[in-house]
Amino acid sequence: MGRIEKFKDQSYGSLRRKYLGSKDLFEDPLFPPNDYSLSLSKPLHGSVVWKRPLELCSAPKLFVDKASSKDVTQGSLGNCWFVAACASLATVKPLWSQVVPDYKLQEWDPVRPEQYAGIFHFRFWRFGKWIDVVVDDRLPTIGGQLVFCHSETANEFWSALLEKAYAKLCGSYGAMDGGNLCDALVDFTSGLAEMILLKEGYRDEPKKNQLRKSMLREYDEHALMCCAISVSDSALFETRTATGLVLGHAYGITAVKEINVGGSSGLMSLFRSGEKITLVRLRNPWGSKEWNGAFSDRSAEWTKISKSEKDKLGLTVDDDGEFWMPYDDFISEFSDLSICRLINTSVFNFRKTWYENYFEGQWTEPLTAGGCPNNDTFLKNPQFCFDVPSSEMELVVQLLQTDLRGKYETVSRNHKTEYKSIGFHVMQVEQNRKYRLHKNKKKAFTSDYVRSRSVFYRGSLSKGRYVLVPTTFEPSVETEFFLRVYTGNKIHMMELTKDFPQPGWCCSLCCASPTCVSVVTVDGATGLSKLTNTYCIIKTEKESLKSQVIANTSDPTWNLSGVFFRYDICKPFTVEVWEDRIFRDKFLGCAVISGSADNQTLSIKSPLVGRGNNEQERHPGELRLTVTTYDDVDAA
């Protein structure tokens, strides 16, 4: 599960032991039953009274039977994003049992009422660790009814208590009024959440079918999914479409299934999916207002589906906010899909093994808040270097920024987090790069820049060394960040913190600082004596760099690039060419290059010659390379 941190240093175990057997139940001094903990932007209709579950029913339970999506119904708070994520969470027991730890021990015991202390705890993932949040069981009510999140079962309270714990983490209930689906999914799972804009290309059959297969696979692999219909006109917010869906509203996806329709079902004229139809089950956090199109609860399509298929789906026809709809309709009706994947976890057995690197950092002015690549100060940002060891490597990157809700006492309890626009830029760099970049290099990819808590990217890179630069869009913007990189191959990733080599402690005696820096790129060679397997080596005063072997050619292309800090500008460097052999490699010639520190880029075609005293000896072939030497060691 990873690191667990006690929120505000409150220990559930210690506090529970203190109140066990006591006449008093736990009262949380850090989240008291008052308007400060509510901090609502709009007043409620009625007087709020904070009550314990034992005051609301005779036999309260944390869970009745087991957790399900029907246990989570939105109340008088605009947190459908949170409730929709809860509905998805409830469908995957190994996940909600992480969020609701020790759920059996936390349950009310009617046989031993003295074991009840009025205290619960829940866990949420934030910035690389799980935060354990303690709450008492006093809940806001009006007229004896829960004001906010509640279960359809009157004596079931896990969703209401979970919401209270999340409100405490955020600072207040009001701080949850409006939010992002992906944020809640990540907080529940520690997974990687991706927002997919369905209007951008997913109406086309190839891309739509690819996403359909992905959703089926993600559901089988216990990913959490939610969706929404975005609106640009605030006047349309929470109005219903002709098909019964709610605009500007979030839904939890609780199942994605394929069903057999069969040749005699009569559905072949309605759908073009052949023998199978993909259906998506959704949950409206309101507990009502369902889809009324194809495969809605009482639609004619269900009469054509066999009883065994309906039993597999667990079909119900209650007006409970949960409904099925065809995948094609889902794609055309919804605008946003959020998928939160668990990667490289021991909870589930995934098909693919991923390797993780993660870093905590911050953008601070004036040192490390450089903004996006559009700014001259871009390379002031933190930089992270890694190698791709194979010809093609898949990677997943997530960049998160601090969620300020509830983080500082100086922030208002109903504070709405104004996220900064963040993203990251990846460049391919010299194969021996060990120090910070001071000039932009060849772009590998750039993420979208999004004003949200996290940014997600999934793609692949070819073999080479890369530098990843996380940034805010605007310069001089200060906040903390958390970077996670998952790769298909095991890699070593490190932050570049030094600008150039520093002399050792004995520098006055035997060490010195570099006087200039050269960037050397060997494109290749032409006119070698025969078809052979060759490689090249760049050698300077203190360092050498070897290329890969290019097979069976007299005109190899290596594209070997290195950055070299030089201590004596008078000493030239060499580029040697070698034939790769089984027993002993054969020297094919070299080029001797003297790079003056004139800050100019030179394209050089140099004949191959002998080494040392034999530099006048001519060898077949010619090297093609570029050299730039800077008199400022901070320049490359």
Active site (catalytic) residues: 80, 249, 284
Three-state secondary structure call for residue 374? coil
The amino acid at residue 389 is P
DSSP of 381-422: S-EEEEEEEEEEEEEEEEEEE---TTT-TTS-TTPPP-PPEE
Q: How many secondary structure helices (H) and strands (E) does the chain include?
A: 11, 29
In order of 397, 490, 503, 559, the CA distances from 518 in angstroms are: 32, 31, 18, 16
| Number of neighbouring beta carbons within 10 Å of residue 177 | 18
β-pairing, 129-136 vs 4-6, is: parallel
Is the C-alpha dihedral spanning 76, 80, 81, 86 positive or negative?
A: positive
Q: Which residues contact 324 (CB under 8 A, 6 or more apart)?
A: 279, 280, 281, 282, 295, 296, 313, 315
Cα atoms in the 13 Å half-sphere on the side-chain side of 180:
22
Q: Alpha-carbon distance 466 to 523, whole Å?
A: 19
Give the residue from 189, 176, 201 showing the smallest Cα distance to 225: 189
Among residues 276, 267, 448, the alpha carbon closest in space to that of 372 is found at 448
The CA-based angle 569-574-575, given to 5 degrees, is: 140
